[in-house]
Amino acid sequence: MINKENITFVISSNRNDIYTTSSVPCLSEIIIPRSSPLGRARNEGIEEATNPWIILCDDDIRFTDTFLNLLCELADKKRIIGLEGYYPSPFVIGRLMMFSKQAWLDIGEFDIRSHGDETEWCMRAVKKGYNIVRLSRSCVYHYPHTKIKPKSEFGNLFYLLRKHPSFPFYILRLITTKMKESSYNEEYK
């Protein structure tokens, strides 16, 4: 299991009120990069981190010590652990993700974008042989606020398709495998 003093929390923010810091254990390093766009801030925070484990999170969440212990138990150098992406994405969202700093060095930096950078990074992680472990978004409390929407959701989709043309086939293969597995469950044996 990972010790909490070996974790750096990277909390990108341009706000005055950063709720997430109240959940971070006192033994853990906290870095709050304030650059823009978000992808740049994430990279700067991870680059500055002095610990081998990174927890990337938004500035507007709260989590329990029990949840943090679960993350530490699940941690593995070939895993990206985080909160599940929005359906049908098989990836995790930047609201909270855990990985080793070595994984970031191996996969490469996040793209310098305001939205979609974590999805694209997870796509590269899968191509490099990393496993994505998805946890329910309900595992953390997300403080309500007005969401800043991207200019276009289609812009993110086109960005992902341009960088990863095989992405639709990957999703289709995942869905097909899931359907196949569910049709062979215990109920029908």
Q: Which domains does the chain have, with CATH numbers?
A: 4-147 (3.90.550.10)
Average pLDDT in the 16-36 region?
95
Query: CA 136, CA 138: separation in Å to the nearest integer?
Result: 5
Looking at the predicted structure, is the pLDDT value of residue 184 above 60? Answer: no
Q: How does residue 181 score in pLDDT terms, banded at 50, 70 and 90? A: low
pTM of the model: 0.84
Least confident of 60-69, 84-93, 100-109: 84-93
Radius of gyration in angstroms for the set of CA atoms belonging to the chain, rounded to a whole number: 17
- pLDDT computed for residue 149 by the predictor: 60
Give bridge partners of residue 98 from the DSSP assignment.
55, 81
